[in-house]
Structure 1
Amino acid sequence: MYAGLFAVAALCAAPSSFAENPIIQTNFTADPAPLVHDGVVYLYTSHDEDDANGFKMLDWRLYASTDMVNWTDKGVVASLKTFPWAVQDNDAWAPQVVERDGKFYMYVPISVAGWPKNVIAVAVADKPEGPFRDALGKPLIDKAEGYFDPTVWVDDDGQAYLYWGNPNLWYVKLDKDMVSYSGKIEKVASKPANYQEGPWFYKHKSKYYLAYASTCCPEGIGYVMSDKPTGPWTYNGDIMAGNPGATGNHPGIIDYKGKSYVFGFNYRLNFAETPIHHERRSVTATELTYNPDGTIQLLPWWDGVGAKQLHTLSPYERVEAETIAWTSKVKRDRDRPIDWAPGVKTAKSDKVGMYLTRITDLTYTKVNGVDFGQAGASTFTANLASGGKGGVIELRLDSVDGPQIGRLTVTPTAGWDDWQTQTTPVSNAMGTHDLFLVFKGEGDAPLFNLDSWRFSKP
């Protein structure tokens, strides 16, 4: 099953300068945990398997964007195998990653055989894309109740706080090493109104916030505010009310390039496939607005219109093929071991990294806001491999049947690992447009894999 297969009817449901929700269509994703680092939004997610009925979650994934519309798949950055002492067949639940002193720390709830509840583990990496490695070889938190949904914030004075909990809310002050604590685990005595799970702890200007999944079920997003990182907390209502179409929710909130955003998830792609509710969720995002007193304006339930594009995309630099605003039934993949376990050797073709795969007839990808400039482009070059019959890439503007500016006939290569660049002339590619790469070919078998592309000027 291809998570994006059912997205076709929603195409162009929003103006081209806006994202379309859900922002990820090639995998079922949930529990968004955005991190802003060096001008990039890194979006860590949990991952619902394609055949999930209840929760079936084995790994954590990463997507990145600088415009809040086009998202680049970075693949699996950690999995249950990152923690070999954990239960391996399920329970890779809601993550969060924070940076401190050049290191990136991932906090996750996982299960341990024989334990009645989850524990919180921590992994560490030298860069946001990983690889993440187990930092402790044991749980970080295993002595409190409800080890769900860790959220971490490093305050201005350097003190880091870890909150978590379902059905209660707990916190502890982390040591500077981010993988230990020396103080007492505290239970929030007065649990926020309608609190269920999924806390997201952060600071905006001078106020501290806890947003959370509220009022089950369905779950909306509630929030409380405080002048201190440990409360007392004042309830201020909802950021988003619940919706009968979704049993769950999970907020992630950031400030980025002068704007604020809230991430969550819906079940839109699941219900496009079937009227039966499965835990096959899809991450969403939209802009969030604060009032002058710091309270947050109520948002409608996730709809097809997401965040506005912050800047255009240049086609004259290398663009990873897995950079997508919207897609049909194309699946993104990684040509390397996905578990990132220590000592695992990568394949020779690991140099390719992420690429588009399972490309078949009439599939497509869409990239929003591509700025060709006034002079326009003269050629299109793609890095690809085909152990099949090859096929065609039609380059169209603004819709799947919009003006065609070029047509690359993909010649088969020596195999699926034989990557080659192939080029075709283009014309009338000027100004700013949404770019559609429409794939065509014979039969139902995969046609080719696509790693990256770029245009050239005259």
Structure 2
Amino acid sequence: MFHRFSITLLATCAFALTGCELPERAEPMSAAQGVAASGCNPLFRNRFTADPAPLTVGDRLYLYAGHDEGDEGFRIDEWVAYSTTDMKHWTDHGAFMKPTDFAWAEGEAWAAEMVEKDGKFYFYVTVEHDDTHPGKAIGVAVGDSPTGPFTDARGSALILDNTDTWRTWSDIDPTVMIDDDGTPWMMWGNSNLYLARLKSNMIELDCAPRELKVTNYLEGPWLHKRDDFYYLTYASIKEPEQKAERISYATAPSVEGPWTYRGELTGAAQNSFTIHAGIEEFKGNWYFFYHNGAQAIAGREGSEFRRSVAVEPLHYGDDGSIQPIVQTRQGAGTGPCP
């Protein structure tokens, strides 16, 4: 989600994208409309969105995000969902869940991911725990459809923040992948990267978490598999020379590693310290979702705390590498961008 000790840099840092210029202003629209049919970036122009998490269900791709509303700090009170069948026309499903739907949580709809298993949909989320255990926590909700309704699957946090670290947001940004043999795995963490196997019920750990080490890791892990390669993409930073997050990636022969650093995948997002990636295959093509702070909505400028989701095509090399991603206005669109 973010690295608080770097937040003082935000007022002085702005980062340009390579490619077409993004517009300074995007007109508001009703929640029922979705977005323009071009598929250009930013994807959603009726609200600020961050921390994208894609999921393919049949012939439809769903995109889950936090609804950014902050001014001088992060304010994310709900998660929203959109879906598409063609990467151009998007249906806006609106807000489908809030952190306070977990009785033990106080708020802060940070990064989340939706996973399907046996006809059920499991939503792994980052929230602020109540004062019985201060700090962030990871919860899991369950529903019968990609847009819910969702209920707390446990009645308690799946992961509590590690009080042995120097911060109260060490346990954030869950990513869950079900391996080819049916085993579900979860990674998460800020500054520290953790891995644990889940039980088949998807709501309990099946082993003690262990810490992994990957180059320049900061937060926002995302797991996926293609052919014989397991991929871990994540928000990275090399201080002091880098002043904002970038996306790096590593590959491995299994979820448990060993993980080999493969380099930076894309640079810093425009007008945002954070950049959070989600990767998904849809109808034979791979896509890289992320956010930036480039868009204005209804007279409110984009910023570190008012971000917008974007997408780019993703391509692999013959050696299993991922080709570098250029952040553009065109995105996955095929027509002229307004």
Q: TM > 0.5 between the two?
A: yes
Distance in 2 (CA, whole Å) between partners of 1:245 and 1:52 is: 14
Distance in 1 (CA, whole Å) between partners of 2:65 and 2:52 is: 5
Distance in 1 (CA, whole Å) between partners of 2:267 and 2:208 is: 34
Equivalence for 1:136: 154
Measure how far apart 1:116 and its partner are: 3.9
Verify the 8 A CA contact 1:165 1:197 in the aligned structure 2: yes
Equivalence for 2:331: 306
Equivalence for 1:32: 52
SS of residue in 2 equivalent to 1:306? coil
Distance in 1 (CA, whole Å) between partners of 2:72 and 2:40 is: 25
Verify the 8 A CA contact 2:222 2:279 in the aligned structure 1: yes
Measure how far apart 1:243 and its partner are: 4.6
Q: 1:414-453 counterparts in 2 under 5 A?
A: none
What's the RMSD between the two structures over aligned residues? Answer: 2.4
Equivalence for 1:163: 187
TM-score by length of 2: 0.82
Measure how far apart 1:251 and its partner are: 0.3
Whether 2:68 is the aligned partner of 1:48: answer yes
Q: 1:143 to 1:185 in 2, by over 3 A?
A: farther
Measure how far apart 1:69 and its partner are: 1.5
TM-score by length of 1: 0.61
Equivalence for 2:311: 285
Whether 2:112 is the aligned partner of 1:86: answer no
Measure how far apart 1:281 and its partner are: 0.3
Q: Larger radius of gyration, structure 1 or 2? A: 1
Q: 1:56 to 1:157 in 2, by over 3 A?
A: same
Match of 2:210, as an amino acid? E
Equivalence for 1:322: none
SS of residue in 2 equivalent to 1:124? strand
Verify the 8 A CA contact 1:18 1:306 in the aligned structure 2: no
Distance in 1 (CA, whole Å) between partners of 2:324 and 2:130 is: 42
Verify the 8 A CA contact 1:271 1:277 in the aligned structure 2: no
SS of residue in 2 equivalent to 1:58? strand
Q: 1:306-325 counterparts in 2 under 5 A?
A: 306-308=331-333
Distance in 1 (CA, whole Å) between partners of 2:120 and 2:278 is: 21
Q: 1:279 to 1:17 in 2, by over 3 A?
A: closer
Whether 2:220 is the aligned partner of 1:218: answer no
Distance in 1 (CA, whole Å) between partners of 2:55 and 2:246 is: 22
Q: 1:298 to 1:17 in 2, by over 3 A?
A: farther
Q: 1:46-445 counterparts in 2 under 5 A?
A: 46-49=66-69, 51-88=70-107, 91-114=108-131, 115-142=133-160, 144=162, 146-188=170-212, 191-215=213-237, 217-243=243-269, 245-270=271-296, 277-300=303-326, 302-308=327-333
Q: 1:229 to 1:217 in 2, by over 3 A?
A: same
Verify the 8 A CA contact 2:271 2:304 in the aligned structure 1: no
Distance in 2 (CA, whole Å) between partners of 1:244 and 1:32 is: 16
Verify the 8 A CA contact 2:43 2:310 in the aligned structure 1: yes
Verify the 8 A CA contact 2:295 2:302 in the aligned structure 1: no
Measure how far apart 1:304 and its partner are: 1.0
Match of 1:193, as an amino acid? T
Match of 1:107, as an amino acid? Y
Percent of residue pairs identical: 39
Match of 1:64, as an amino acid? S
Match of 2:71, as an amino acid? A
Aligned residues: 297
Measure how far apart 1:143 and its partner are: 6.1
SS of residue in 2 equivalent to 1:20? coil
